[in-house]
Every structure is written in structure tokens, then in C-alpha cells.
């Protein structure tokens, strides 16, 4: 059984016991989260497609950690003007484990 769920404006295909990185959620580690924006639920026999959401469906998850992505370097330069700027950015993510997909 799997589901397509919207988390933080992005869509993820999830199954039970999956570990995924989602945009930062305001929750402490070991906290439980429930996502109600389920767009599609599929088991081996049937597929339920929402219009736009599947009614009564939800995905339960547990927060594992608050992490950051790899550093992205941004370098700007204007030639012959002594202008150089080097900046780095690390996007925050939340690592979650999918506990249950309820249809």
C-alpha cells in the first residue's frame, strides 16, 4: 500500500516504514505528525484518486531528526570592479518515518 501525500507544498510517494526528508516541520524529535492532504491511496486491488483530496485518508509519521542539507555556495563577481561575494546556504529539512497509511 502506498499514498501520494502533500507535505510542505511538495508531493511525496510514501509507504509504511519509509524514511524521507521533508521541508522543515515545527516538531521535536520523537513527536508524532499526521498529514491529511492525501492525494492518492493505492493498495494491490484498487486506487483511490482524490478530487483534490481523498476523504478520510491520512498518513501518520514520527519525527526522527531536524537536519540540514549539504551546503550550496553562491559566488558573485563583477570583473575589474573588485567586487566579490561568497555566501553559503544550508536548507533545513525534517527526517520522518512513515508509521501508517490510513485509507
Mean pLDDT value across residues 71-100: 97
Cell matching residue 96:
520522518
Report yes or no on 54 lying in a domain: yes
Quick one: 79 exposed, middle or buried, by C-beta within 10 A (0-12, 13-18, 19+)?
Answer: exposed
Q: Are 62 and 16 in contact (CB under 8 A)?
A: no
Q: How many domains is the chain built from?
A: 1
Report yes or no on 34 lying in a domain: yes
- What digits encode the pLDDT tens for the residues 14-57? 999 999 999 999 999 999 999 999 999 998 889 989 889 998 99
Tell me what pLDDT residue 50 has. 87
Residues of the chain with pLDDT > 70, as a percent, come to 100
Range of the domain at 51: 2-66+93-102
Q: Are 42 and 77 in contact (CB under 8 A)?
A: no
Amino acid at each position: 500500500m502506498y499514498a501520494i501525500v502533500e507535505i510542505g507544498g511538495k508531493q511525496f510517494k510514501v509507504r509504511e516504514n519509509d524514511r524521507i526528508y521533508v521541508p522543515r516541520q515545527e516538531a521535536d524529535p520523537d513527536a508524532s505528525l499526521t498529514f491529511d492532504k492525501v492525494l492518492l491511496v493505492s493498495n494491490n486491488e484498487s486506487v483511490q484518486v482524490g478530487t483534490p483530496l481523498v476523504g478520510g485518508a491520512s498518513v501518520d509519521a514520527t519525527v526522527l531528526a531536524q537536519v540540514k542539507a549539504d551546503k550550496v555556495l553562491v559566488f558573485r563577481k563583477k570583473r575589474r570592479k573588485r567586487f566579490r561575494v561568497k555566501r553559503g546556504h544550508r536548507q533545513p529539512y525534517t527526517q520522518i518515518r512513515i508509521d501508517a497509511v490510513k485509507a
